[in-house]
Structure 1
Amino acid sequence: MSARELVLGTAGHIDHGKTTLVRALTGTDTDRLPEERRRGITIELGFARWQLDAGKGQRLAVSIVDVPGHEALVRTMVAGAGGMDAVLLVISAEDGVMPQTREHLRVCALLGLRHAVVALTKIDRLGEDPSEREELLELAREDVRAELEATSFADAPIIPVSATEGAGLDELRAAVVGMIRGLPGRERKGPPILPVDRVFTMRGHGTVITGTLLCGELELREGSTELTLVPQGLGRQPFSVRVRGMQVHGEEATRSRAGTRTALNLGKVGVEALERGDVLTSGLAVVASDRLLARVEQLDFGARPWTRGTSLQLCAGTASTAAHLVPLTLADPETGALLDPVGKIAIGPGQAGLARLYLDVPLPIWAGQRLILRAFSAAHMQTDGLTIGGGVVVDPLPERRQPARRVALARALLGDDASAKVRALVEDAGASGVTLEALTLRAGVIHAAKLLGRMGVESGPLIELGGRWFARALLEPLLRAAVTEVDRFHAAHPLQPGLARATLEGALAQAGPSAAALRTAAVDLALARAQLRVADRSGSLARPGKGTLDPNDLPPPLHDVVERYRHAGISPPTLRDLGEALGLDAKAVLERVGVLQRSELLIKINDDLSYAPEAHAQLLTAVREHLAAHGELDVQALKGMTGLSRKFAVPWMEHLDRLGVTRRAGDRRLPGPKA
């Protein structure tokens, strides 16, 4: 039977015996640095493997993360705590609850940990007298129980132990096994997320990183596995890394599952390119972001409310940076629901709310990620530490919006309905639309494509256009605007058959911001509903019943032009000739001739030459008869058979080539496919 794998983290004040207890339980000294051994305190994260027998043939493969207890190293503690499944809270029976005991407890609770065992250490120092020792032990228990009472660890078992003498270790093991039985499993679906907590080089292997796999699975395929490194810090871009080898809980492996301590041997990348705080992942889950939307809470001992511009230290995963907070609204103290924003917002001690956070440097962020918020200094530092709050990421890459819109979106993203999250993001994007990639990342929904497929059916609320998703309801106002614009055009240009499609879509863009694909779709919908029609061969758009020219009832300005061309026969006027004859300027001539060309009442030969349809047909018939009889045609032959001057004959030859009636062969024309 395979062992269940999980991560157990220590927590507690400095010098309460965390590292000594881990060594007694596992045989591993987690203080690996020379400075740690010289000074006798933990400075960096330490790791140990602990195999436990859970009974009934079940084994537990526990990775212990030993964290430093010094007040100056809480950020390091948070980096280790982010991957824990449960906590081993270590409290000295001599000293009782201390400042970093409280701070570590709060960090664990803010990170969502709900399972703990308390090791009441150093009981061998409580004196020789058994009755006195028991009395002191009971006082220590009461102290601990009082501290835990208002936390999620209120029912945690408290086990007195002596790591040096071995007393209580069996009972502690049993308590840990019992706690583990009640632990829920990790989420193994979706992309893997592995925050890096150590980077080093191993002789003969190269670069190695370690971390706790928070969700998903990693599989080492034959050859190599590609992952994406999402970095923290300024000026660093995500890049691909190749995984050459893997260890899980200290043993060679080809697969790592959520909740396991994992080491990866990376190829062709140096240690200088990686650092604690980076994240290894694949797919669309993590983004390097310097702004985020989060539901935050301030602990009740805070000294002042969080207002616009409040500076805090933000810890996310194994990374940290300074952040500036902008409160958007408060949460209802009874239900936790976000309230409508009213007036100037401040999140006071004991309150929760929605805030936008601006980070000094980009960090790897994902939807649903737990955050720790710490003060840079405070009067309560000596009693409670600097951790004064926490939160959860609502949107890792928020757009600029008014507070009310941000709050409305956050309500949907904080809910459990994945479809509602996706739809809310699409509707919030408005006329700009949003890509599938952005939806997956911002909603934290791994099956966003499937949900979009359901909502994007013909009668559904969403529509996909040009690789972006929109609310279908946006088409209606654009459609109405398109119809209004065409009506306006008809009123201003009664002689024109219609408005060019590109001009219409350009006018819609001027009316308000919208994606080009959305404007195109709105015009297509107007055509499908017969609210617009194609008026001519050039694709001009008109309203039904308008822009149509009746050859037998043309408006006088157009009738005069057509008659000139009909009477001219195969020797039509140039545009200049026409303007002089009718007393029109060049612009008026171009407008009227263009209208007739698009309505096929004149046939365009080139920019300056057009024919009445009857004359055009007469010449085509003559050309086809000549080609059938002689097999070729040149300019002289065309002039001879039609009487055309060279001014007309040369453009006509080129026109015949375009029609496919002829094809050029030097100075001659041979029969074309439409001869």
Structure 2
Amino acid sequence: MNNIIIGTAGHIDHGKTTLIKALTGVDTDRLKEEKKRGISIDLGFTSFKINPNKTAGIIDVPGHEKFLKNMLAGVAGMDIILLVVSAEEGVMPQTKEHLDILNLIGIKKGIIVLTKADKVDDEFLEMVKDDLRAHVKSSFLEDAEIIPVDSISKRGIDLLISKIDKLTEEFEPKNLNVAPRLFVDRIFSIKGFGSVVTGTLIEGILRVDDLVYLYPKKIESRVRGLQVHSQKTDIAYAGQRVAVNLSNISLDDVQRGDILSSNQNLSVSMMLDVKITMLNDISKDLEHWDRVRVYHGAREILARVVPLESDVLAKGKSGYVQLRLEEEVSCKEKDHIILRFYSPLETIGGGIILDSDPEKHTINTLNIVEKLSLKEKGTLSDRILQLIQSKSVLVNKEILIKELGDEASKIENEIHLMLENEELIEVAGLLIDTKGLDTIVGQIQKQLKYYHSKFPFRAGASKEELRTKITFKLKPKEFDALMNFLESKNIVSMNDKYVSSYGFEVCFDDKALALKNEIESYYINNKTPFQTDKVIGNSLESLEMIHYLIGKSLIKLSDDLFYDKLLIEKYQSIVKKYLDKNGEVSIKDLKDETELSRKYLIAIMEYFDRIKFTKRSGEVRISYDRN
């Protein structure tokens, strides 16, 4: 069964709380001041048994404009709205403001309840209905039922319940295949149990013993216990009002507006990119750097406005805006928000979050409007491609699931189709879009072509050097994975830490061959290490040939000292002989055996240390493997 949250809305003293009592038998005014003043100040919560097999959560909101902040804390997660209007007074200021907010927040279903219907005659009642129809035109309540009731005698209540029951059947199943998110709207402590938070479970499934986090501080806790509709349970589902008993959490750790989730990677940000729709009849337009109040879930955050299409977002218009927040917030793309001016307090608009953790940008940021338009209107595959392209190159699938906010299985199915259609390529479990791969391959091929032209005697460029030459910012492990993939496709060749174009081989013309023979002849016929500038000069061709010979017939002992590889192998055998016989070898031992100077022997032994053949122990060398 789909779980449903029912919420009230309407002007002060129009009978919202009395209506809830008529439906449920519960007075949701729990505060002493509420009882004293006879008005609702904060949110009220109860459950409503619609029929023997169906129970819904109910949220009763305050109607006074002074407590609109509390009303806004309750609307997130509401499915069905009971817009409560007194038949005596008809539409009043908070009726209209509540209706505006509900439209902006994306509510789709509701019923208009005409309370105190016993206080007016039929003719007046019809006039109020006509006026209501005019006010709700073009809203989500345009075609809603209007049910007159008397909450005291309960006339009309049974009809209202039947209409609510019918409406609950029209909802799509809630999203259960994502990490749970609960908007905290109430916090209290129970002696012997500790801290309890309550809220609407917006999505997912929450279980006893789940590891959870309180955002935006990301405080870790564990679910000790759960209650739904005042009954203990081991599991709670999206669309339910839930009380959560948390382990190791004090009342100081949590506040109204926090988000409870098992997702350990929920984004936390000081900026939001949003699409805002402005109300028509507000006092002024929204201008650059206006200070506003942002309402998300049960939270109020102050922010500055940066319009991204023009410096002003006019009344009745829609546009893209970046919000620069004054404190951190945790949210997801497609979440709804409401905006009010900081002062005077006035609801001015609302909309949806398009990027929950954006880069800082302004009206002058290149293509920002096009990018946000794609986020708003694009298909899932469009948004997957955009998100991958906005990242590095290779993106983990879990990152996509986290940031897109859609159902995980839906995203995975779309990725599977995109892989089949070759819109995406999988590289070592990471994803890259085909266009991005083509671009990076082009850059790598261009760099290698230049490298082979400049250094024709080298086997290739080092992986690290090549990684830093391309415009895509890849971590070393990501770059290694990409190089392995390109090697498997015969695009590049790899040898140890070097990368070359596929099929590249070092080739010598007559001039290069003569230089090679000259250098080899020198160190084959000389028994001591040499410095290039003392033998062949420092021409680029000579240095490149030396670089080519290193590891083949030449060993680099230090930055400017080279030696014949065969002689190095000979001296390595001599060192091994001493180590096998005596367990150690000194420079003096080798000087007697080789007739090389101390300077050269030190360079040779330091080379043996570097390749982990020996290691120094005081004035002697011992085997590297010796303890």
Provide TM-score, normalisation by structure 1: 0.78
CA contact (8 A) 2:423 2:433 kept: no
Distance 1:351 1:213 in 2: 32
Q: Give 1:140's aligned residue.
A: 128
Counterpart of 1:166 in structure 2 is 154
Residues 578-636 of structure 1: CA distance to partner in whole angstroms, max 9, x if unpaired?
755x4747x98993784364262335567787554666677889999x99x99999789
C-alpha spacing 1:241/1:614, structure 2 compared with 1 (3 Å):
closer
Distance 2:612 2:28 in 1: 85
Q: Are the equivalent residues in 2 in contact too, given 1:124–1:165 (CA < 8 A)?
A: no
CA deviation string 1:179-199 (max 9, x = no partner): 334344433221211101111
Secondary structure at 1:213 match in 2? strand
* Equivalent position amino acid for 1:113 in 2: I
Distance 1:672 1:322 in 2: 63
Alignment of 1:219-234 (within 5 A): 219-220=207-208, 224-231=209-216
Report sequence identity in percent: 29
1:68 paired to 2:62? yes
- 1:68 deviates by 0.6
Q: Contact conserved, 1:313 with 1:373, CA < 8 A, in 2?
A: yes
In the TM superposition, what is the alpha-carbon distance from 1:671 to its structure 2 partner? 12
Q: What SS does structure 1 have at the residue aligned with 2:286?
A: coil
Aligned to 2:554: 602
- Residue of structure 2 equivalent to 1:279: 259
Q: Note closer, same or farther for the CA distance 1:310–1:504 as it changes in structure 2 (3 Å cut).
A: same
Which of these residues, 411, 418, 424, is aligned with residue 461 of structure 1?
A: 424
Length, aligned pairs only: 618
Q: Distance in 1 between matches of 2:125 and 2:612?
A: 104
Within 5 Å, which residues of 2 pair with 1:195-274? 195-220=183-208, 224-231=209-216, 237-274=217-254
1:515 deviates by 2.0
Aligned twin of 2:71: 77
Q: 2: distance between equivalents of 1:469 and 1:251?
A: 45
Amino acid at match of 2:168: I
Alignment correspondent of 1:333: none
When residues 524 and 464 of structure 1 are mapped into structure 2, their CA distance, relative to the original with a 3 A threshold, is closer
- CA 420–23 in structure 1, closer or farther in 2 if over 3 Å, else same: same
For 1:171, what is the secondary structure of its paired residue? helix
Q: 1:616 to 1:449 in 2, by over 3 A?
A: same
- How do residues 553-572 of structure 1 correspond to structure 2 at under 5 angstroms? 554-568=512-526, 572=527
Among 266, 273, 276, the alignment partner of 1:296 is 276
Q: What is the alpha-carbon distance in structure 1 between the residues aligned to residue 623 and residue 291 of structure 2?
A: 82
Mean Cα deviation higher: 521-530 or 93-102 = 521-530
- Alignment-derived partner of residue 445 in structure 1: 406
Name the aligned partner's letter for residue 167 of structure 2: M
Asked if the contact 2:181–2:259 (Cα under 8 Å) also holds between the matched residues in 1, the reply is yes
CA distance in 2, matches of 1:488, 1:641: 47
- Structure 2 partner of 1:349: 315
Q: Matched residues in 2 for 1:540 and 1:52: separation? A: 70
Secondary structure in 1 matching 2:308:
strand
Q: Which whole-Å deviations, capped at 9, do the CAs of 1:519-555 have from their partners, x for residues lacking one?
A: 55666567566666568x87475786664458x9754
Distance 1:200 1:590 in 2: 79
| Larger Cα-atom Rg | 1
Deviation at 1:646?
A: 7.3
**8 A Cα contact 1:10 1:90, kept in partner:** yes
1:49 deviation in Å?
A: 2.5
3-state SS of the aligned residue for 2:367?
helix
Matched-pair contact (CA < 8 Å) for 1:52–1:177: yes
Cα RMSD over matched residues? 4.2
**Tell me, which stretches of 5 or more residues in structure 1 are unaligned?**
127-132, 232-236, 330-343
Q: Which residue of 1 aligns with 2:436?
A: 474
* 1:200 match: secondary structure: strand
Select 1:315's aligned residue among 295, 298, 301: 295
Instruction: Give yes or no for contact 1:216–1:257 (8 Å, CA) kept in 2.
Output: yes
Superposed displacement of residue 167, structure 1: 2.9
Hey, what does 1:24 align to over in structure 2?
22
**How far did residue 247 of structure 1 move?**
0.9
One-letter code of the match for 1:15?
D
In 2, the alpha carbon distance for the partners of 1:15 and 1:262 equals 28
Q: What SS is found at the alignment partner of 2:313?
A: coil
Deviation at 1:139, TM superposition (A): 2.2
Mapped contact 2:448–2:501 kept (Cα < 8 A):
yes
Q: In the alignment, residue 444 of structure 1 is paired with which amino acid?
A: G
**1:3-152 mapped onto 2 (5 Å cutoff):** 5-53=3-51, 58-126=52-120, 133-152=121-140
Distance in 2 between the 1:48 and 1:596 partners? Answer: 80
Q: CA deviation at 1:660?
A: 10
Q: Distance in 1 between matches of 2:432 and 2:255?
A: 39
Q: How far did 1:214 drift? A: 1.6
Equivalent pair of 1:43/1:73 in contact (CA under 8 Å)? yes
Structure 2 residue 378 is matched with structure 1 residue 390: no
User: Any unmatched runs of 5+ in structure 2?
Assistant: none
Counterparts in 2 of 1:38 and 1:440: CA distance versus 1, 3 Å? same
Letter in 2 for 1:574: P
**If the length of structure 2 is used for normalisation, what is the TM-score?**
0.84
Equivalent in 366, 370, 385 of residue 423 of structure 1: 385
Residue from 361, 365, 369 that aligns with 1:407: 369
Query: 1:479 Cα deviation (Å)?
Result: 3.9
Aligned residue for 1:119, secondary structure, equals: strand
Note the C-alpha offset of 1:280.
0.8
Residue 515 (structure 1) aligned to one of 453, 469, 474? 474
Q: Which residue of 1 aligns with 2:336?
A: 370
Q: Aligned equivalents of 1:630 and 1:197: distance in 2? A: 80
Q: 2:465 aligns to what SS in structure 1? A: helix
Secondary structure of 1:101's counterpart equals: helix
> Greater shift after overlay, 559-568 or 664-673?
664-673
Q: Distance in 2 between matches of 1:36 and 1:107?
A: 24
CA distance in 1, matches of 2:268, 2:605: 63
- What is the CA deviation profile of residues 371-422 of structure 1, one whole-angstrom value per residue up to 9, with x for unaligned ones? 22223456xx8xxxx3332211222112346656333333443347433322
- Whether contact under 8 Å (1:497, 1:595) holds in the other structure is no
- The one-letter code matched in structure 2 to 1:424 is Q
